[in-house]
Amino acid sequence: MELAEIKEKFEGVWKLDRSENFQEFLQEVGVGLPLRKMASLAKPEMTITIENDNKIKIIMKTGFFTQEDCFHLNEEFLKEMQGTIMKATATYEEGMIKMTNTPVDPKSKVKEQIIHRERIGDEMVLTLYTGNVVCKRYMKKIG
């Protein structure tokens, strides 16, 4: 049932429309100034699909970077973010895909990040939490 709802609400191709506090978020997670400037200019595309094995696949593409997550809900998986290995878990609650990314190495300078994806009207809103920073990214469906 959850996957059918996720497919209906989120499956497709989305393009970034606008952001709030993105520079602050990147700074808080430890991204250097040159990369922060490049990232803030990028208008990434996100593709969300439900695979045949009931995995959710999320591909985020910018001109200089592609990140792909493929996961089952409620199962831990490993991913790399800025050269740091993270333990990630995704759930579907309150109509949102909620993902928590925690560095495997407790000495890592990269902070835990929580990402909520939700539909508000015709937009997908990503709310990113790390430290004391909350960032919102608004995406419009293009396909």
pLDDT at 40 exceeding the cut of 90: no
Instruction: Please give the angle made by the CA atoms of 117, 58 and 129, to the nearest 5 degrees.
Output: 35
Q: Note the pLDDT tens digit of each residue in 59-68.
A: 999 877 888 9
Strands 65-71 and 77-81, by their bridges, are unpaired
What tokens does 33 get?
Answer: 């100034």
Write the CA distances from 115 to 53, 125, 137, 143, integer angstroms: 23, 10, 11, 22
Domain that holds residue 132: 2-141
Q: What HEC string does the chain produce?
A: CHHHHHHHHHCEEEEEEEEECHHHHHHHCCCCHHHHHHHHHCCCEEEEEECCCCCEEEEEEECCEEEEEEECCCCCEEEEECCEEEEEEEEEECCEEEEEEEECCCCCCCCCEEEEEEEECCEEEEEEEECCEEEEEEEEECC
Q: How confident is the model at residue 47 (pLDDT cuts 50, 70, 90)?
A: very high
Q: How many domains does the chain have?
A: 1
Averaged over 35-63, what is the pLDDT?
A: 91
Given a cut of 90, whether residue 142 has pLDDT beyond it is: yes
The CATH number of residue 53's host domain is 2.40.128.20
| pTM confidence score | 0.91
